[in-house]
Amino acid sequence: MSLAPSLPLRRRFVPHRSPPPSPLRSLVQPILSRVVRDIARTLPELFGRLGPHRHSRFLIDARDLPFLLLLRPDPDRPELVAWPRRAQPPHDTRISGRFRDLMGLIDAQRDGDALFFSRDLDISGDLEAVVCLRNAIDDVEGSIADRVADSLGPASRIVWSALRRRHERSGHGDGR
């Protein structure tokens, strides 16, 4: 059941437009592109489970990062693109919260319902697409975040472990 109106896919299509260039984007974008390609390659069922929403555009706003992320989980051409905060790229749904909460959702360490009802997580747009994404992530065995860190090499694994320890020390590593 959809809680938000959903337009047919052919009407929602917006031609691809690129974010403006920036020094931060030039550093971050190659990493994001590799991450989304690796996930699509190693976890094809994740994107396949989205059904018609695999072409949706998910704007991910980690409020404490200096950029927005636009995810288009198309298994044939997945995209995860950094956008400047001042830009508002076309999107079907917006998911907004603190970076550690969003990473906790991906890693199944945080309860999405609890975050939503405590207003630590804001969702707008096509809620059916968000529910499909959440269900697909919940069905993945193991940690998506660990897989990403492993695919990026030893330095990434060290950074991810440090972030996880910091998150656990803050009292939020138990799913609350």
Whole-number Cα distances in Å, 46 to 38, 53, 101, 134, 140: 12, 12, 20, 10, 7
Residue 115 CB coordination number (10 Å): 21
The architecture CATH gives domain 19-102+110-141 = 2-Layer Sandwich (3.30)
Q: Where are the alpha helices (DSSP H) in 2-125?
A: 9-12, 23-42, 44-48, 99-106, 112-117
pLDDT band at 162, cuts 50/70/90? Answer: low
With a threshold of 0.85, does the pTM exceed it? no
pLDDT above 70: residue 154: yes
pLDDT confidence bin for 175, thresholds 50/70/90: very low
pLDDT value, residue 129: 95
Instruction: Encode pLDDT of 83-133 as tens digits.
Output: 998 888 999 999 999 888 888 788 766 777 778 778 888 999 999 999 999
